[in-house]
Structure 1
Amino acid sequence: MIEEIRIKDVGVIEESSLELSGGLNVLTGETGAGKTMILTALSMILGGKADASRVRVGSEKASAEAVVGVSTASRAWRRAEEAGAVDESEEGEEPREEELILARTMGAGGRSRAFLSGRTVPAGVLADVGGSLVAVHGQAEQLRLKSPAAQRRALDRFGGERLAELKERYREAFSRWLRARDEYERISSTSRERREEARQLQEALEEIDALELQPGEDESLKAESMRLENLEGLRSAGALASAALAGSEDAADAPNAVELVETARRALEAESDPALEALAERLATVTADLNDVAVEIAAFVTDLDVEGPGRLDEIQERRAAINALLRKHAPSVDEVLAWADEQRPRLEEIGQDDETLERLERERDEALAEAERLADELSEIRREAGRTLAERVSEELTALAMPSAELSVSVEPREDLDRHGRDEVALLLTPHAGAPAQPLGRGASGGELSRLMLAIEVVLAAADPVPTFVFDEVDAGVGGKAAVEIGRRLAMLARHVQVIVVTHLPQVAAFAETHVRILKGESEGVTSSDVTPLGDEERVTELARMLAGHETSDAARAHAQELLEDARSFAS
């Protein structure tokens, strides 16, 4: 709710601060005192058009600011978070009450600036935040329920839990239908491309499988190929190493490592010395190792002779086939094998397209049938709720001095479904007998429109609340008993939400929880207004002025006191 409004240099208001309560707040004052300027300031704060002509004469700029209490779980707070005006709430954090400060300045030259909790923002952000916090009723362009979408939402909330539960079931069916339909269309529209993809994948995988690749095979074949291309060098190195280690038939008298180490070992063993014996044992181990290496070298050379040129041809042919595959798919055998593993599920998926399409078609048709059935039920419940809403609002209009006016709720089906059903919802007003039903905002005066919206808001208050309602001209053209009924209904609405009313009627003002008087004065030839909250005695004086034109009349004061007592009796 709005906790405080601060205004500076707006029209006739030089500087004022207005504290508001959570119930019914009434603004009164003589014609021209500046009540309209408060609504002008509020319109600025809520992102409305900023008119430079509203800047007070002699001032460089006008400013208006509102301190608004909101829940951190509200749409307004989330929008403020998106705008960077407040810190974002932590996930899972419990909702709490916080303050938002909405402000606007208007320069005499026509430039305006908007602020949200101290941060400069576009005026549209203020309008977005304010639109979820305050509903202003007084002119057709200010109607909270002007759009068909807003009227449908209001009717759905009025329909209660039964409608809400059915709507949730409908949305689930509608979402299932959308998913199945979109997936069916996606697969159907790409069936030719998918078949070609499957053919190419099948050929590629068959080619890979036919080669029976082994992990790392390209590198091992490369190494073997290099070895076979250097056979003579390998044989020569092997022979030389083998002769040096263990000797050869061609050089039987030449010394070799095994014989030399063995000679050394025997020389050490010949002496009976523990240290030399230990070294001799180590030389025995060396001899065994040298023999083993010599044997392995001989085997290596023998294998070279067995493999020969035939094996090299074999390897080169295999490498050529593998390289052709690598050029198509990946730089290495390991990557080719990984790619193949990734593509096999894809091939299987595409291969099941026919089955998938049959399943999706079945799911799509079943979900659509369910959504259409629920949409029909939704339409019927909306019609029932619409009839009840229309009856209650029409009853309220009778009490508000519009006895011939009737509200009707039109629920007409469209051909296509959307996430809300298939209904076009419209609230229509018949202002008097014989007149055609027209959309809200047409065919009604400003006062009639305000009373119509008051009647609607009173009926919707518990089901579709907005934190703050502002009514202007709600009492235009009425008086007497009808004025009392307007006051009562404003008080009824204020039990659920904050209500701010600009009124000329004492019967309405008597129901206020907070009564503010706008008083016009003049200083040095410049008109100014002062905003003053009234206490009990001051309220009697103000109501007497509104009743009789002057506050000193005993009869007027007695009548004013009676109005206050009757209003308090209603409130209790």
Structure 2
Amino acid sequence: MYDARERLAAEPRAKGASGMIEEISIRDLGVIAEATLPLGPGFTAITGETGAGKTMVVTALGLLLGERSDSGVVRLGASQSWVEGRWRVPADGEVSERVRESGGDVDPIGESGDAELVLSRSVSPEGRSRAYAGGRSAPVAVLSELGERLVVVHGQSDQIRLKSATAQREALDRFAGPELQASLARYHDVWRRWKDGVAELEELTGDRDRRVREAEELRAALEEIEAAAPQPGEDVELDERIERLENVETLRVAAAEAREQLSAEESDGPDALSLLDGARRALEHAARHDQELGALAETLQAAQYQVTDAAAQLSSYLAGLDVDGAHDLELLQERKALLASLVRKHGDSLEDVIAKLGAGSARLFELDGDAERIEALTQRVADDAQEAEALAGELSKARSEAAAKLETSVTKELAALAMADARIVVEVSDRGELGASGRDQVAILLQPHPGSEPRPLGRGASGGELSRVMLAIEVVLAGTDPVPTFVFDEVDAGVGGAAAIEIGRRLAQLAERSQVLVVTHLAQVAAFANNHLTVVKDTGGAVTESSVRQLEGAEREAEMARLLSGLADSESGVAHARELLELARG
């Protein structure tokens, strides 16, 4: 059995292999009962007879990349389809980080700085699907996010990579190189500062009347609060003092009666002190007969001291009550009403009112400085707008120059791909306003024949032509815009002979920077692959089954001969196959 982990550990990291697929395992998908596809760096060609299930390989990869599942792909009689892919990714890259965020993990590969990522997907006959990322169940959307970073698929019915104006502009910018990227970064910083300044200025000037009213109201509120000078906890203290004064007579009677009971000063009746003194004397008199009574006498003497202290404190309390009066109560109630008024106007509590004094002062300082701020901000916004316009002009010039080069390079590639009359047009137009990327709108158009009207990519071209256009663009962009893995499904449709050889040559060129997987029916294309897989169909049973084999040596020559002549054992076909392989190796 092919051991992907041993191969990962043994092989050096290939150029452009960040996110490279090492292996795909398929079970019960379409006509494929069970298959393992050893992939790895470079150019992998996948061939096979019509109906053998070559497209199931692309379908399997699509499931791993989060595409919509279809119950129709489940093999007849199977409980579910299962697909698993093993990727080699940077251990600390954005793909690994996204996997960890979703609850999964990656396995480090030695000390290479890379890790193995496992993605899996199952589909039931009822259409239910489950996805796994890094060993943990994950939403299918997570596979889609990872797929956008890992693989670009070009198929007969797939949406093209550069389908949006934004993607086309970004592709042109990357093709233009680091100098434009640096200019774009400077422009974006100025543009962002300019937009922030415009928004702030609009807020200041648009709400000027409201801010003036806010300043006036805030100034009046602060003056009122400062005049009252409330103190923390003052409202609680006032309540306590008012409660005391409102019940002063009751308090005086109770305190006087208690003091009289403890120490009678205005009557000859017995009080607590005299009773305690008598009890103490009686015990002391008898203590010479029993020491225990002496100890009790000492306890009574201590009680006398405490009662004496309590009586003194009651006297002081009564003296304090005599100082307070009705005038004090009136003043306290007025103060309480003032604080209550402040709370109603300026907060839910006295603490809020006091806090507003500090925060309001800072806000008032800000509002009072509006005029100076508006003047300074207006000048800054004008300066930033002027600088943004100048930088946008530099971007437009650089993009126009890069567009001409991109047109020439891609059109040259198309000529080698049997589209000699076709031409790529890259339009850089002014959209009339500054945006985050400048004022340019970029459109990549295809002119299929001289004199015809250039049209957006994806319109007015056959599936095979569109695949070749995208191949030409990808080959040109690969130098400055590498993608970890490209998958081409029938990129050679409608092509043969020398044009097919050039397609194979371009795919091999692309594979120098990225991993390339190609489903093809042409030996001229497959000859340039460094890894050749074939999907083998077995019709011996009641149900057609297919498997995948890796071809080398004579087996590969036989498959190439079959692709060329339809006969795997044709001597002339095998000879031609060897000739093609020699050509590709050269």
Shift of 1:74: 4.6
Cα pair 1:114 1:126 within 8 Å, conserved? no
Taking the aligned partners of 2:323 and 2:55, their CA distance within structure 1 comes to 110
Cα pair 1:71 1:77 within 8 Å, conserved? yes
Aligned AA for 1:44?
L
Cα 1:10/1:306, change in 2 over 3 Å: closer
CA RMSD of aligned residues (A): 4.1
TM-score (norm. length: structure 2): 0.79
| Residue equivalent to 1:98 | 116
Unaligned runs of 5+ residues in structure 2 are 1-19, 278-300
| Residue equivalent to 2:132 | 116
Aligned: 1:440 with 2:457 = yes
| Residue equivalent to 1:18 | 37
Cα 1:300/1:57, change in 2 over 3 Å: closer
Cα pair 2:46 2:534 within 8 Å, conserved? yes
Taking the aligned partners of 1:242 and 1:56, their CA distance within structure 2 comes to 103
| Residue equivalent to 2:437 | 420
| Residue equivalent to 2:561 | 544
| Residue equivalent to 1:37 | 56
Shift of 1:25: 0.1
Shift of 1:231: 6.6
Shift of 1:54: 4.0
2:379 aligned counterpart, secondary structure: helix
Cα 1:98/1:60, change in 2 over 3 Å: closer
Shift of 1:189: 4.1
Taking the aligned partners of 1:208 and 1:243, their CA distance within structure 2 comes to 48
Taking the aligned partners of 1:221 and 1:56, their CA distance within structure 2 comes to 85
| Residue equivalent to 1:273 | none
Identity %: 46
Cα 1:135/1:544, change in 2 over 3 Å: same
1:21-420 counterparts in 2 under 5 A?
A: 21-59=40-78, 61-82=80-101, 84-87=102-105, 96-107=114-125, 109=126, 111-117=127-133, 119-139=136-156, 141-222=158-239, 225=242, 309-330=326-347, 333=350, 335-420=352-437
2:451 aligned counterpart, secondary structure: coil
Question: What is the aligned residue count?
Answer: 543
Aligned AA for 2:576?
H
> What are the Cα deviations for residues 454-480 of structure 1, in whole angstroms up to 9, with x where unaligned?
111111113222211111222233333
**More displaced stretch, 197-206 vs 353-362:** 353-362
1:444 aligned counterpart, secondary structure: coil
| Residue equivalent to 1:269 | none
Taking the aligned partners of 2:68 and 2:327, their CA distance within structure 1 comes to 93
> What are the Cα deviations for residues 382-406 of structure 1, in whole angstroms up to 9, with x where unaligned?
1111111111111111122221211
> What are the Cα deviations for residues 366-425 of structure 1, in whole angstroms up to 9, with x where unaligned?
323322322222122111111111111111111222212111111112123332222221
Shift of 1:26: 0.6
Taking the aligned partners of 2:443 and 2:398, their CA distance within structure 1 comes to 15
> What are the Cα deviations for residues 181-216 of structure 1, in whole angstroms up to 9, with x where unaligned?
222333444444433333332222222222344455
> What are the Cα deviations for residues 204-234 of structure 1, in whole angstroms up to 9, with x where unaligned?
2222222344455445555555565667788
Taking the aligned partners of 2:39 and 2:324, their CA distance within structure 1 comes to 102
Cα pair 1:76 1:130 within 8 Å, conserved? no
Aligned AA for 2:146?
V
Aligned: 1:562 with 2:562 = no
> What are the Cα deviations for residues 536-565 of structure 1, in whole angstroms up to 9, with x where unaligned?
232222223333433444444333323223
Taking the aligned partners of 2:27 and 2:85, their CA distance within structure 1 comes to 12
Aligned AA for 2:44?
N
**More displaced stretch, 189-198 vs 432-441:** 189-198
Alignment match of 1:430 (pick from 419, 428, 447): 447
Cα pair 1:218 1:332 within 8 Å, conserved? no
Taking the aligned partners of 1:241 and 1:205, their CA distance within structure 2 comes to 49
> What are the Cα deviations for residues 508-554 of structure 1, in whole angstroms up to 9, with x where unaligned?
21211111122333113533333110122322222233334334444
Cα 1:235/1:514, change in 2 over 3 Å: closer
> What are the Cα deviations for residues 466-511 of structure 1, in whole angstroms up to 9, with x where unaligned?
2111112222333333222222111111011110112222222121
Aligned AA for 1:199?
E
Cα pair 1:137 1:471 within 8 Å, conserved? yes
1:142 aligned counterpart, secondary structure: coil
Aligned AA for 2:436?
R
1:141 aligned counterpart, secondary structure: coil
Taking the aligned partners of 1:87 and 1:95, their CA distance within structure 2 comes to 15
Cα 1:85/1:448, change in 2 over 3 Å: farther
Shift of 1:440: 1.1
| Residue equivalent to 1:8 | 27
1:413 aligned counterpart, secondary structure: strand
Cα 1:51/1:299, change in 2 over 3 Å: closer
Cα pair 1:446 1:473 within 8 Å, conserved? no
Unaligned runs of 5+ residues in structure 1 are 262-282
Cα 1:74/1:437, change in 2 over 3 Å: farther
Cα pair 1:461 1:496 within 8 Å, conserved? yes
1:428-507 counterparts in 2 under 5 A?
A: 428-507=445-524
Taking the aligned partners of 1:32 and 1:56, their CA distance within structure 2 comes to 14
Taking the aligned partners of 1:316 and 1:170, their CA distance within structure 2 comes to 66
| Residue equivalent to 1:279 | none
Taking the aligned partners of 1:480 and 1:38, their CA distance within structure 2 comes to 26
